[in-house]
Amino acid sequence: MAKLFRNEYNKHANAWYFKDTVIKTKSGDLLYWKSLDENGLYNFRFFAESSLKKHFPGVVTIQYDHQLDEIVSHYCSEDLDRSCNHYLTVVDYAYKYILDDIIQEEIIEVYNRDDLRFNEYFQRLYTNTYITISDVFKESTDKIRIHFNGYSEFDLRIISTLKADKEVKNSYPKELIKARNQMNIFREEELVLLSLLHLYKCSFSKKNNFFSLYKRDFFRVLSQLAILKEKVYIQETGDKISFSKDKFPIHFTITKLDKDNYLLKGNPEKEISAIFYYNTIIAFVRSEIYSFSLPFKTEIIQEIFKTGCTLSTKDMVYYHAIVAKQLALSGYYLDLDDDIELPLIYDKHPKLYFKLRKDNDTVLMDGRLVYSENVSLPLSMIRFQSNLISYKDELGDKAWYYIPPVIFKEVFSFLDQLPSPQFHRLETDSQIVFEGALSIDLLKKAIFEMSSENWNIELSDDLKKDFIYKVHLKAEVTTKSSEDIDWFQYNVVYKYKDFSFSHAELQKFFKSKQKYMTLEDGRIIFFENKEIFNEMEQLLSHSENSKNKVYKMNLESIPYFFKLVNNNPAIKLNGDKFINSMSHDLIAGKLKNAPTVPPFLMPIMRSYQKSGYQWMKMLAHYGLNGILADEMGLGKTIQAISILSDIPAGEKSVIICPKTLIFNWAAEFKKFKLNKAFIIYEGSKLERMQLLKSVNFDILIASYSIIQNDIKELMNYKFNYVILDEAQHIKNVSALRTKAIKKLKSKHRLALTGTPLENEISEIWSLFDFLLPNYLMSRQRFIRAFGGNENREQREELHKMISPFILRRKKSDVLIELPNKQEQIAFCKLAPIQEKVYMQLIENVNNSYFNPERDEKINYINILTALMRLRQICDHPQLVEGDLKADVELSGKVALLQELILDAIDSGRKILVFSQFIGMLKIAKDMLKKHRIPYEYLDGKTKNREQHIDNFNNNTSIKVFLISLKTGGYGLNLTSADTVILVDPWWNPMIENQAIDRTHRIGQTRKVQVYKLIAKGTVEEKILSLQKSKTELFEQIIENSDNILKTMSIDQIKELFHYEA
């Protein structure tokens, strides 16, 4: 029999350190336990018999590969050094006293895999820790304490020192090892806090686990406390700290104390519990923390908040003209008492005025700062470099003038560019003299390059042809209502100072490609913002040109007009009363005198839903139509009901929706007790015609297909409202249903859809062709103008045109109380048989469709069929190979699905499982039956849908709902579920989002966990990247597919049939 650890012993035995390091032992001095782990490695744990404990206090753990006679790893609880004396003593002892036949003895098997950073004990321990801050409100001390509660088993002194990358003093190696291991338990943000506390502490109490910190350094740790706010409390009150995102409510006042003295005070609207003065001021209102910045120096801020800051009469001009401005920039305001008398102050932003004239061979430049038509200050005043100047004008009137810092920057930068001017006349005459041809040429160049819109340059007649004016165009659009009620007229003039141009003049000039324009009076000008002309040219392309340079545009285009103006300050809009009112109301999203929601809905509707009602009423008032595109789950139905509730008596409206939602609408009408009679428009043709003729109704609820069938009869009605629910059903402009619905007559139209754009930008055109015919030009022109999905400028232009007619709110914006939704990609590997079937199909496809020897066009139908089969294999190979059993072990995805469902049920959760393939849902049903898990089921053929939905929502024993993706995407409310599993990805992420939003919607009180199951390396991973581009397109057009193959290159399609094992 061989000695145990003989190879390791031979490595060290002859080393110079070995004999001096090894502790002398005799047989029986060391005890050990052994076990066999999951990797076939033997694990030994050596420790000393009690008499040797003094010399061998630690425990040495060894992982040993018997076949190779090699120690794989070792660990000493006392020392990390590989040549530590305890480890070498164990090697020496094993070689001398232990034979390797102990390996043959019966042994305990263990599982030692260690993927976790810490064990359950420490996790539970750490979960119950929290931090408290004390002495924040105590003015008698200059320190605060930060207490770490529940951390008694953690050595915070060593941990904070290690994290701060400082030397740990007065510690044993064993303590260092323990602290390093404990660091794995902490959140990184908490470790950063500990390192900062170590660096800036004034003391640390090991007994009570608290750091003392000078209040002057409190700001250094505040940002980390904000990150950890969920576990941080104020000790004196027991309240959890919170950080307000609001501006601290305070205003500043100056009051008169006596004839020559005044008092500046800050007047907070909330009582301050404690305040800390840094560049950013920290104010505690009990446990709520505000941070804000003021332009004052720290010592002034302290004075203002403590006793108030005393000012003199001379200070009043400074505080009125300068301090008040800078406070306003910070979002705060300064009020002076009415009884404070101020001298005359000119504090508006002056314009720079330069007058150039010839004097023989020299050029004289006069300069002034112009505050108003008759008020100016000589440019020479800037030589004092003071923001406030007291100056007597020619009439002897004295006033104070404010010179903004930017004026100094502009003037001195300009003077630096000038060629050695003669400044001797600057002080006396505010005049600069330039002599010589070179100096004058450089002056011309400097004026052209440096002059800005704020400058006014006047040239004498004999200089006009020598200098170039830089013109910043501004377009003035004047609108007025037309005699034709559906149209308005407008004309366009471009202005800049004393320049004025018609659109036709500029159009002619820009077509000439000339750089400079010469005016009739000889002045030469350069246009620095041609893009304003381009914007107006785009606008005019939507208009009809009538006589006298007047243009006509459809009234429905006015919102685009206003959007253009709001996005560009260089365009000014002048309109008559009607146009101005429309402008105001479109920007506000409601009428100036907005109607209130009907009383019976007032206590039910949320504030954003009431805003939706007012938005729809505003559009209706101006004869416009729009898309209510709120994210799913935000209550588009109740907003539509609100607008229908006050339509005039005797007028009929129609709601068109998918057939599966007809009874949902009926239920909602009953639920909210709408005071309108409604009928469900279905049955045989004869029954439907009798309904139209004999029943007195206000609202007709019909499916898309029924409308298509009965369009001849329905065209005879003039409805008040035509409302399309899930309006993306008319995205296909050539579909018969789309053509039929667009033939309906109505005063108003409304589209409801959370996804107005799913695949192609052309879908937007179809929706707007229903809402506002002709607004987005012809379909051919629209495709040419906006068909390039990758062109950001095109998308922005389209966004400008459609955004006034789209109201979209997200849950994250309006439902503060809605729990978060956490999405997770759950990857799985193909099972061996599954992988074999997948590879066989890929090989067949490549040989059949991508063979380089065959020059054939791609058959998209064949490719789509192959892709569908690949996706089915990713679910379970039995969906393609019918002879295979539907066993769980044949599919990595089904195994993962089973694991997720069982774990979720153990955690008390209710689960929605979505798949596109009915066969996969059947496999899932069989798996649930095997585990005796009650479930509900819904696909396109399911009858009595509401009964299944109610049973799932109300029956606590039903934990799983299996749903076909396309069937479950619309109109279902399943907020009793809090877990969503998407078994297979769909090309279009909007379809998946619709499914997720069945549970993540109003009424949900718990966090929603979403799992997307993806087979690693397969076509499903490629779908994920394609989904990302779809989402980006949707967000850029709306918020700020089956045809997808036709938008892809050959190489991209081939990539779908590539498998990365």
Give me the phi and psi of 528, to 5 degrees please. Answer: -95, -5
User: Is the per-residue pLDDT at 194 higher than 70?
Assistant: yes
- Both 92 and 130 in one domain: the answer is no
List C-alpha distances in Å: 192 to 188, 201, 202, 251, 678.
6, 14, 18, 36, 64
How far are the Cα atoms of 546, 561, 1046 from residue 1036, in angstroms, in the given order? 35, 20, 22
Task: Judge whether 113 lies within some domain.
Answer: no
In angstroms, the CA 68 to CA 63 distance is 12
Q: Does residue 263 share a domain with residue 231? A: no
Domain limits for position 489: 471-587
Cα torsion 572, 578, 583, 586 to 10°: value is -170
454/447 Cα distance (integer angstroms): 13
Segment 615-631 shows an average pLDDT of 90
Give bridge partners of residue 825 from the DSSP assignment: 1012
The β-bridge partners of 434 are: 363
> Could you tell me if residue 774 is left (phi over 0), alpha (psi between -120 and 50 degrees) or otherwise beta?
left
Residue 218: pLDDT band (50, 70, 90) is very high
Type of residue at 1008: V
Give CA separation, 441 vs 153, 412, 438, in Å: 80, 19, 5
Q: Within this chain, do residues 607 and 748 fall inside the same structural domain, yes or no?
A: yes
Paired tokens of 612: 């939706």
Both ends of the chain: CA-CA distance in Å?
46
* CB 762, CB 733: distance < 8 Å: yes
Residue 566: pLDDT above 70?
no
Percent of the chain predicted with pLDDT > 70: 85
CB atoms within 10 A of CB 172: 10
Map residue 500 onto helix, strand or coil: strand
pTM, to two decimals: 0.49
Per-residue pLDDT band at 612 (split at 50, 70, 90):
very high
Task: Tell which residue, 1028, 1008, 1015, has the closest CA to residue 826.
Answer: 1015
Using CA atoms, how far apart are residues 403 and 349, in angstroms rounded to an integer? 8
- Residue position matching structure tokens 């200098």: 467
Task: Assess whether pLDDT exceeds 80 at residue 354.
Answer: yes
Give 183-201 as a DSSP string.
HTTS-HHHHHHHHHHHHHE
Per-residue pLDDT reduced to its tens digit, 231-247: 999 998 889 999 998 88
Confidence of residue 1041 (pLDDT cuts 50, 70, 90): very low
Compare 475 and 923 and report the one with higher pLDDT: 923
Task: Please say which residue of 199, 224, 243 terminates a domain.
Answer: 243
**Domain co-membership, 766 together with 652:** yes
User: Do 632 and 722 have their domain in common?
Assistant: yes
Q: How far apart are CA 970 and CA 80, in angstroms?
A: 61
The CA distances from residue 980 to 441, 800, 912, 1009, 1015, in Å, are 74, 36, 5, 6, 18
Q: Tell the burial category of 966 from Cβ atoms under 10 Å away from its Cβ (0-12, 13-18, 19+).
A: middle
**Neighbour count for residue 1035 (Cβ, 10 Å):** 12
Domain count for the chain? 7
**Spatial contact of 471 and 496, defined as CB atoms under 8 Å apart:** yes
HSE-up (13 A, CA, CB side) for residue 717: 24
Lay out the sheet containing 232-234: strands in order across: 201-205, 210-214, 143-149, 130-134, 232-234
339-343, 538-542, 850-854, 1052-1056 — which one is most confidently predicted on average?
339-343
563 vs 293, higher pLDDT: 293
Average of pLDDT values for 864-872? 87
Phi and psi angles of residue 147, each rounded to the nearest 5 degrees, phi first: -95, 140
Q: Please say whether the dihedral angle defined by the alpha carbons of residues 726, 730, 736 and 742, taken in this order, is positive or negative.
A: positive
Is residue 1043 a contact partner of residue 760, using CB atoms and an 8 Å limit? yes
Q: Are residues 601 and 742 in the same domain?
A: yes
Pairing relationship of beta strands 699-703 and 678-680 according to DSSP bridges: parallel
Residues 6 or more apart from 334 whose CB is under 8 A from it?
251, 252, 253, 254, 319, 323, 324, 327, 328
Is the pLDDT score of 1032 beyond 70? Answer: no
883: left (phi over 0), alpha (psi -120 to 50) or beta: alpha
Identify the CA nearest to 467 among candidates 347, 339, 332, 363.
363
Residue 466, domain member (yes or no): no
Query: Cα–Cα distance between 625 and 806 in angstroms, integer?
Result: 9
> From CA 938, how far away is CA 958, in angstroms rounded?
14
Reported confidence tier of residue 971, pLDDT bands at 50, 70, 90: low
- Write out pLDDT tens, residues 98-144: 998 898 888 999 998 888 888 888 888 998 899 999 999 999 999 99
979 in a domain, yes or no?
Answer: yes
Q: Are the C-beta atoms of 612 and 639 separated by less than 8 Å? A: yes
Torsion of CA 120, 126, 127, 128, to 10 degrees: 120
Over 278-343, what HEC string results? CCCEEEEECCEEEEECCCCCHHHHHHHHHCCEEEECCHHHHHHHHHHHHHHHCCCCEEECCCCCCC
Judged against a pLDDT cut of 70, whether residue 818 lies above it is answered with no
| Diameter of the chain measured on Cα atoms | 120
Q: What is the mean pLDDT of residues 664-684?
A: 84
Q: What is the number of alpha carbons within 13 Å of residue 321 lying toward its C-beta?
A: 25
Burial of 318 from C-beta contacts in 10 A (0-12 / 13-18 / 19+)? middle
Quickly list DSSP for 591-616. Answer: -TTPPPPPGGGTTTS-HHHHHHHHHH
Instruction: Give the least confident one: 270-279, 360-369, 484-493, 1032-1041.
Output: 1032-1041
Write down which residue in 185, 214, 243 finishes a domain. Answer: 243
Are 178 and 303 in the same domain?
no
Does residue 111 sit within a domain?
Answer: no
Q: Which of 431-435, 614-618, 765-769 has the highest mean pLDDT?
A: 614-618
Name residues whose C-beta falls within 8 Å of residue 397's C-beta, 6 or more positions apart in sequence: 344
Assigned token pair, 726: 């899930």
In terms of average pLDDT, the best of 319-328, 537-546, 799-808, 813-822 is 319-328
- Give a yes or no: residue 476 inside a domain: yes
Is residue 235 a part of any domain in this protein?
yes
The answer to whether residues 603 and 577 belong to one domain is no
786 and 733 fall within a common domain: yes
Burial 593-616 (b: 16+ CB within 10 A, else e): ebeebbeebeeebeebbbbbbbbb
Residue 980's nearest CA partner among 1006, 957, 954 is: 1006
What integer is the mean pLDDT of 978-992?
78
Place of tokens 């390059």: 449
DSSP string, 721-769: EEEEETGGGG--TTSHHHHHHTT-EEEEEEEE-S-S-SS-THHHHHHHH
Question: Whole-angstrom Cα distance, residue 381 to residue 248?
Answer: 39
Residue 112 lies in a domain: no
% helix, strand, coil for the chain, step of 5: 40, 25, 35
User: Is 653 in the same domain as 776?
Assistant: yes
Domain harbouring 1014, CATH code: 3.40.50.300
Is the domain of 210 the same as that of 254?
A: no
What average pLDDT does range 312-323 have in this prediction? 93
The residues, ordered by sequence, that sit 6+ positions from 535 with a Cβ below 8 Å of its Cβ are 475, 564, 568, 571
Q: Given this model, what pLDDT does residue 817 score?
A: 47
Whether residue 213 lies inside any domain: the answer is yes
Determine the Cα–Cα distance for residues 689 and 203; give it in Å rounded to an integer: 88
Give the domain-ending residue among 460, 485, 513. Answer: 460
Same domain membership, residue 676 and residue 797: yes
What is the average pLDDT score of the chain? Answer: 84
Sheet holding 911-915, edge to edge: 821-828, 1008-1015, 979-982, 911-915, 960-964, 935-938
Among 81-90, 134-143, 566-575, 868-877, the range scoring the smallest mean pLDDT is 566-575
| 703 three-class SS | strand
Q: Of 248, 188, 256, 259, which is closest to residue 224 (Cα–Cα)?
A: 188
Both structure tokens of 166: 């400082």
